[in-house]
Amino acid sequence: MAFFVLSINPGSTSTKVALYEDEKLLFSRNVDHSAEELRPFKRIIDQFYFRKLIVLRILAEEKVDLNKLDAIVGRGGMVKPIEAGVYEMNPLLHHDLAKGIQGEHACSLGGLLAEALIESNPHARAFIADPVVVDEMQPVARLSGHPLFPRKSLFHALNQRAIGRLHAQKIGKKYEDLTLVIAHLGGGVTVGAHRHGKVVDVNNGIDGDGPFSANRSGTLPAAAVARLCFSEDYTLPEVLKMISSQGGLLAHLGTSDLREVEQRIETGDEYAKLVHEALVYNIAKEIGAMSTVLYGKVDAILLTGGIAHSQQVIDSLMSKISFIAPVYVYPGEDEMWALAMNGLEMLRGAPCKVYE
Ligand SMILES: Nc1ncnc2c1ncn2[C@@H]1O[C@H](COP(=O)(O)OP(=O)(O)O)[C@@H](O)[C@H]1O
Ligand SMILES: CCCC(=O)OP(=O)(O)O
């Protein structure tokens, strides 16, 4: 008997939905969201009905009957640090996703949407898989320069692991046997040091750590941020938004869409050109840093995420990092497939982890 599994992936700049019948993709849809469209929502949780309507509209257009689904797997979520794997929705997971106990990001809506959409279908199951809070960091990587501020593992765990496995399969090896630096270049940018199947260090892609991205500030000069916080010109939510959803390209250029930035460069916009160069420069620096975590013994550098579609970014990055290791480009993401396959494994009887 075939299983029908729906993947839901709310990103910071998009909502992606895909349906699989066992391993076969039936459809995949992506709706982009501009910064203006998302600006009215004060908190991420306020986007719940907006995103739910998008998913329902796609399902109606694709003539999908919710009662025919066996599982929905949502991307998750800003919950407690946990090990990689698949977690079935339960009341505590619902609570922690809705509250955003480690902060706010659209991916927290994935599990909540999955759960809400199976409400009228008692035979279906709702899961999250390899959420952004997967934490395998080695002890030395956890220390920052002050004990009050330990470094946290918040990254594109689902896609980085999926691309690592895809690459290993392509070269006829096991992911667990490789050392890789994987850079996800999307709404957020995270660069992970993968040592034999574990992500032993990675920049926190949400809270202001590492390279800036489409809509995140990355690392900022800490003292300048502290002074701004105490200037009384900004509230805490305003400063947090500067860091985790309205920084990066968006702060510099008013758009989080790299395609638009590249069009502006073509029309001679010198500032857009400088910001584009700085984006690449900072990503290259982080890739260099993660290569040292692996003692320079890097089997390959893998570039993925929406920004990896840009030939301009790839060419410019290559000139800075190709001396480290062979570079492979996997544009976009393999998240929809990874979500569905994780769900399918559960339906076929694999044990599911319990969030507690
Ligand atoms: N073909 C493309 N060329 C250049 N940039 C692209 C392309 N497709 C997407 N992008 C950029 O990738 C970023 C979004 O990446 P994505 O991984 O889809 O984000 P999300 O974090 O929302 O999942 C945006 O800046 C977008 O403009
Ligand atoms: C840091 C993990 C989540 C993230 O940044 O996702 P988006 O790129 O979709 O915003």
- Residue 12: pLDDT band (50, 70, 90) is confident
Each residue's pLDDT tens digit, 236-281: 999 999 999 899 999 999 999 999 999 999 999 999 999 999 999 9
Out of 253, 304, 307, mutate this one to test ligand 1's pocket (max ligand atoms within 8 Å of CB): namely 307
Q: In this model, does residue 349 exceed pLDDT 90?
A: yes
pTM: 0.93
Per-residue pLDDT, averaged over 81-93, amounts to 96
Residue 105 beta carbon below 6 angstroms from any ligand 2 atom: yes
What is the position in ligand 2's atom list of the atom closest to the CA of 305? 8
Pocket residues: Cβ below 6 A from ligand 1: 11-14, 186-187, 214, 256-259, 305-307, 309-310, 333
Mean pLDDT to the nearest integer, 325-348: 96
Q: Could you tell which of 105, 154, 333 is best to mutate to test the pocket of ligand 2, judged by most ligand atoms within 8 Å of the CB?
A: 105
Which of these ranges, 34-48, 77-91, 117-131, 223-237, has the smallest mean pLDDT? 34-48
Q: What is the pLDDT of residue 312?
A: 98
Decide whether 4-135+335-347 matches 157-331 in CATH topology. Answer: yes
Domain ranges of the chain: 4-135+335-347, 157-331
**Nearest of 107, 17, 246, 309 to residue 6 by alpha carbon:** 17
What local confidence, expressed as pLDDT, does residue 317 receive? 98
For residue 224, the model assigns a pLDDT of 97
CA of 258 from ligand 1 middle (Å) equals 7
The region of weakest confidence among 33-42, 146-155, 221-230 is 33-42
Question: Topology of 157-331 in CATH?
Answer: Nucleotidyltransferase; domain 5 (3.30.420)
Q: What is the mean pLDDT of the chain?
A: 96
How far, in Å, is the centroid of ligand 2 from the Cα of 193? 17
44 lines ligand 2 (CB under 6 A): no
CATH code of 4-135+335-347, in short, is 3.30.420.40
Residue entry with tokens 């998913």 = 55
- What is the reported pLDDT for 35? 83
Mean pLDDT (whole number) for 100-128: 95
* Number of the ligand 1 atom closest to the C-alpha atom of 215: 25
Q: What is the pLDDT of residue 13?
A: 83
